[in-house]
Chain A
């Protein structure tokens, strides 16, 4: 039936507009209204109206402009209903003017400002990545909560609080000044990396606690590069995530068993993704300002070289980890550095590096125990290795990693 086909076409057009332009439309609305939650509601209503009207009236020539106007009307109506205030009138006039100016011209892309708002220092660090995923990509809270292993209700509250903070504290929709930019950009990149998830492969079997939203995080990194092409750390982050994606298919055997990085079949790595990662890293290197993401990407690049050379350059890895540990001495980096040292200079050196870490930081940190067990076994201390394996197994949340470690522990016993 023609009516149904029309409804389908309208739904497809609305879906397409939603995916391609959700963040663009929302950033424009939020910039003008300084109220993210109200802008989201208005945009949702605009999409609902589109599904009502487009099937019968036809899809408009400029769907985005239609949605923007409909959402602005919602916001204006909402404010009128709230209170007829003289203060609102200049805003309304401004909006009418903007409508006229932007009609026919391309919309300004305000998503970068929105990213900086989401990763503002005044926003709780744990809320930044979820906030970005929701307002720039339009992801729903339930899906974001799954990726971050948190309860949907708790995450929803956190997002509501963050949006209220942005509105009430008057956080400006601006791109930070040049002097302030590196620090602020780092917060944006950190949030994108948090969205990617910590599903990292490690020498002894790390714990992919969060499966993350890899595709979405890569999309956001590409967006930052498109909007800020001169920032090498953004390219470093993209290269890092692309290297991780290139190995996705090799991390599990056909039966679902966990395969550590050193044992992965390199023919199962994605060559196009590795090449793209290398190209981004090379472009970043032209700026000659090194940062943690570029170093992490360079480390992954050394691992990726095994696909060509058949071996892993342990000395290069140890050197890169030394640099990274100086720039960003997080527990994760220090544990990985110990793994690199063990490969380059022997298990004892790696164990000594692990022993130097504060006990409180590593008490329930799975990769520490997995690496410790692996190194103890290599140095023939089977009894101690078994104990460390036990801790690593008990701290694993991925059944495949748990099985891998249980088998390794069994080998230490035999």
Chain B
């Protein structure tokens, strides 16, 4: 079954990414985690994301475009990256979620991937 691991991090961790003192530990733990995922041969896809302030939100309301900088700043934990993995069951996916560095300071959500909808007439 495919599950998406959704990593949420706080401002503190986004700040560590280019803090000369903290960056080696931050990237070291992520590189090791990504390495272990790849070696296990379960990765379908995945990516890390630039910090939240680089995001742009688009909405169409009443036919009008609304463009806004970044996600809503109220939320403490923001999306930092994701992986889609293929593992036998939820427990296996939870094991991999627990190993994510994000679980130790932010959170990792585990969400089953929606199977493709049935083809009409197929």
- Contact between A394 and B95 (Cβ–Cβ < 8 Å)? no
Q: Which residue of A lies closest to B92 (CB)?
A: A364
Q: Is the CB of B31 within 8 A of A149?
A: no
Q: Of B32, B36, B94, B103, which one neighbours A364 at CB under 8 angstroms?
A: B36
- Whether a CB of chain B sits under 8 angstroms from the CB of A229 is no
Name 27 interchain pairs, CB-CB below 8 A, sorted by A. Answer: A149-B94, A150-B90, A154-B90, A209-B95, A209-B98, A363-B40, A364-B36, A364-B40, A389-B32, A390-B35, A391-B35, A391-B36, A393-B28, A393-B29, A393-B32, A393-B36, A394-B31, A394-B32, A394-B34, A394-B36, A394-B37, A395-B36, A397-B95, A402-B101, A406-B25, A406-B28, A406-B29
Is the Cβ of B40 less than 8 Å from the Cβ of A150?
no
CB-CB nearest in chain A for B96: A364
Q: Are B94 and A391 in contact (CB under 8 A)?
A: no
Q: Which residue of A lies closest to B36 (CB)?
A: A394
Main secondary structure of the interface of B (DSSP, over half): helix
- Interface positions of A from 207 to 222, Cβ below 8 Å from B: 209
Query: Count the A residues whose beta carbon is within 8 Å of the partner chain — how many?
Result: 21
Q: How far is the CB of A260 from chain B (nearest CB, A)?
A: 19
Residues from chain A with a CB closer than 8 A to the CB of B90 are 150-151, 154
| B31 engages A395 (CB within 8 Å) | no
A-B residue pairs, 5 tightest by C-beta: A394-B36, A394-B32, A393-B32, A397-B98, A399-B104
> Is A74 interfacial (CB 8 A cutoff)?
no
Residues of A within 8 A of B25 (CB): 403, 406
A-B contact count (CB 8 A): 57
Chain A residues in 8 Å Cβ range of B119: none
If A364-B39, A389-B32 are given as contacts, then 13 extra A-B residue pairs at C-beta distance below 8 Å, sorted by A number, are A149-B94, A209-B98, A363-B39, A363-B40, A364-B36, A364-B40, A391-B39, A394-B33, A394-B36, A395-B36, A396-B99, A397-B99, A397-B103
Interface centre among A151, A209, A397, by most B CB within 10 Å?
A: A397
B37: chain A residues within 8 A (beta carbon): 394
Q: Give residues 394-414 of A contacting B (CB, 8 Å).
A: 394-397, 399, 402-403, 406, 409
Residue in chain B with minimal CB distance to A151: B90
The yes or no answer to B62 lying at the interface (CB within 8 A) is no
Contact A402/B36 with A149-B94, A154-B90 known, Cβ cut-off 8 Å: no
**A-side contacts of B36, CB under 8 Å:** 364, 390-391, 393-395
Q: Tell whether B21 is near chain A: CB-to-CB under 8 Å.
A: no
**Contact A390 B98, CB 8 Å, known A154-B90, A399-B104, A406-B25:** no
Chain B nearest CB, measured from A377 CB (Å):
16
Q: Contact mask B12-46 → A, CB, 8 Å, 1/0?
A: 00000000000001001101111111011000000
Q: Which residue of B lies closest to A392 (CB)?
A: B32
- Please report the total number of B residues contacting A with Cβ < 8 Å: 21
Q: Is B74 an interface residue, CB under 8 A from the partner? A: no
Query: Taking the nearest CB of chain A, how far is it from the CB of B2, in angstroms?
Result: 17
Known: A151-B90, A363-B39, A397-B103. A391 touches B32 (CB 8 A): yes
Q: Which residues of chain B come closer than 8 Å to A363, judged between CB atoms?
A: 39-40
Closest to A155 in B: B91
Q: How far is the CA of A403 from the CA of B31 in the complex (A)?
A: 14
Residues on A with C-beta less than 8 A from B28 are: 393, 406, 409
Of the listed residues A149, A402, A406, the one surrounded by the most CB atoms of chain B closer than 10 A to its CB is A402
8 A Cβ contacts from A267-312 to B: none
Q: How far is the CB of A104 from chain B (nearest CB, A)?
A: 48
Our pick among A151, A394, A403 for the contact of B99 (Cβ within 8 Å) is A394
Give the complex CA separation of A42 and B92 in angstroms: 35
Q: Quick one: closest B residue to A394, CB to CB?
A: B36
CA of A399 to CA of B31, assembled, Å: 15
B37 to chain A, nearest CB (A): 7
Report the separation of the CA atoms of residues A364 and B31 in the bound assembly, to the nearest whole angstrom. Answer: 16
* Cross-chain contact B104 with A151 (CB below 8 angstroms): no
From A207, which residue of chain B is reached at the shortest CB distance?
Answer: B99
User: What is the chain A residue whose CB lies nearest that of B31?
Assistant: A390
Docked complex: A355-374 residues within 8 A CB-CB of B: 363-364
Residues of chain B contacted by A149 (CB below 8 angstroms): 91, 94-95, 98
**Nearest Cβ on chain A to B20's Cβ, whole angstroms:** 16
Q: Name the distance in Å between B113's Cβ and chain A's nearest Cβ.
A: 16
Contact of B94 among A151, A394, A399, A403 (CB under 8 A): A151
Distance between Cα atoms of A368 and B35 in the complex (Å): 16
Chain A residue numbers with a CB within 8 Å of B99 are 394-397
Collect the chain B residues with CB atoms within 8 Å of residue A390's CB.
Answer: 31-32, 35-36
Residues facing A in B50-83 (CB within 8 A) are none
Q: Which residues of B contact A151 (CB under 8 A)?
A: 90, 94
CB distance from A203 to the nearest CB of B (A): 20
How far is the CB of A145 from the nearest CB of chain B, in Å? 10
